[in-house]
Amino acid sequence: MLRHLSSQKYFIERTAVPGRFQPLTRLYTQRLEMTRCSRSIFLKNSRNFLDRKMEHKLPPNDAELYRRCDEVLHFVWDPIGVSGSPAARDEYDSYVPPIFALVSENASPSKIADTLVNFESDRMALSPNRTKAQEVAEILLEWRERVNEEVTRQLFGDR
């Protein structure tokens, strides 16, 4: 879709057909680059803030579960296939807090799988893989049990 800037200048708000690009005006290109830079700086700073916040606010067992949720989403769920790229390690960071909340509340595997399927279809515009989401949900709940067992062992020792 094109928006009219003046009688001779046009810029693209959103292209309807992937892979088809129209020439951009210099002004819009500069704004686009500024927006990308601002967004990356914001994401980088917010990630650091969240890491510091999670570090200080969560008890050790929850911090461990949070890390495990992050790892499972990145290495096991990985709907867009970026787990092999170190540069994309933070690709699924925005999905970790809602999944962590569900896992820590001991939600059912189907509820967690529904959330993952919604992420795939709504946020990523992919065709959802329900089977994979169900497997990931079960792995996440297994990690929850394992982390809780480790904490219990540390607190009370082996009995």
pLDDT digits 0-9 by tens, 9-60: 344 444 444 444 444 444 444 444 444 444 444 444 444 445 544 545 888 8
Give the 3-state secondary structure of residue 9: coil
Residue 156: is its pLDDT beyond 70? yes
DSSP 73: I
Distance CA 56, CA 48 (A): 12
Distance CA 129, CA 119 (A): 11
| pLDDT for the residue numbered 158 | 66
- For 59-159, CATH gives 1.10.340
Contact 133, 116 (CB under 8 A): yes
Whole-structure pTM value: 0.64
| pLDDT for the residue numbered 43 | 47
Would you say how long the chain is, in residues? 159
Query: In the numeric block, which tokens belong to residue 34?
Result: 């500024």
Residue 79: is its pLDDT beyond 90? yes
